[in-house]
Chains A and B, each alone.
Chain A
Amino acid sequence: QKEVEQNSGPLSVPEGAIASLNCTYSDRGSQSFFWYRQYSGKSPELIMSIYSNGDKEDGRFTAQLNKASQYVSLLIRDSQPSDSATYLCAVSSSGGSYIPTFGRGTSLIVHP
């Protein structure tokens, strides 16, 4: 069974700091990796996708992928209180079911 593991948190960081969110996955055949943000009472929204080993940057967000270690992370630089949300890691495989498997999410709290 494919598993995606995240620390549920909460992860509390001060405003302006770097928030680091981590995710591990069990399926070595995984090819696509995603980070979704979910504000309380709202539905998830895609913020980052990454498909190759290494880093991918988009504004204040950086996704990092290490397939050998089966590890994907999301860094949020200059964290803002508006970044406070639950961050869901999602992983999908090629060759058949590309539907992503979601982790339980990490709650991030950015305090002023």
Chain B
Amino acid sequence: SAVISQKPSRDICQRGTSLTIQCQVDSQVTMMFWYRQQPGQSLTLIATANQGSEATYESGFVIDKFPISRPNLTFSTLTVSNMSPEDSSIYLCSANEGTGGLGGELFFGEGSRLTVL
């Protein structure tokens, strides 16, 4: 299956700063997603990264806080803006297989573990 490279793998950030996470897939995919996973919790979908248009955000997540780019079918970025300790979490990039995938069968990057002090 396709491989997702995500970076940084971890970072320690200061309150009030912003960090951009990059996600690169080794093949073209239709849908890319950004999830957050807090310790002991399940995956929470932040947004769907749409190629060539604005991301679709889930309830509780807004573009000003989590701006997302998707310039092509293999790359996306998620920025966590004006960070607070509550943003400390693992952020996961995900995609479905191939350009015709119907979703559900997802593969994930290795995650970016952010700690905000």
> Interface size on A (CB < 8 Å)?
19
Most buried by A among B41, B105, B109, B110: B105
**Mask for A22-51, Cβ within 8 A of B = 1, else 0?**
000000000010101000001111100100
Tell me if B33 and A99 are in contact (CB < 8 A): yes
A18 to B103, CA, bound (A): 30
A98 to B100, CA, bound (A): 13
Pick the residue among A34, A45, A49, A105 that contacts B42 (CB under 8 A). Answer: A105
A43-B92, A103-B42 as given contacts; A32 in contact with B109, CB under 8 Å = no
Listed by A's residue number, 19 A-B pairs whose Cβ atoms lie within 8 Å are A32-B102, A34-B104, A42-B110, A43-B110, A43-B111, A44-B108, A45-B108, A46-B105, A46-B106, A49-B104, A49-B105, A88-B43, A92-B103, A92-B104, A98-B104, A99-B31, A99-B45, A100-B106, A104-B41
Q: Assuming A100-B104, A104-B42, what are 5 further A-B pairs, CB within 8 angstroms?
A: A44-B43, A46-B107, A99-B104, A100-B103, A102-B43
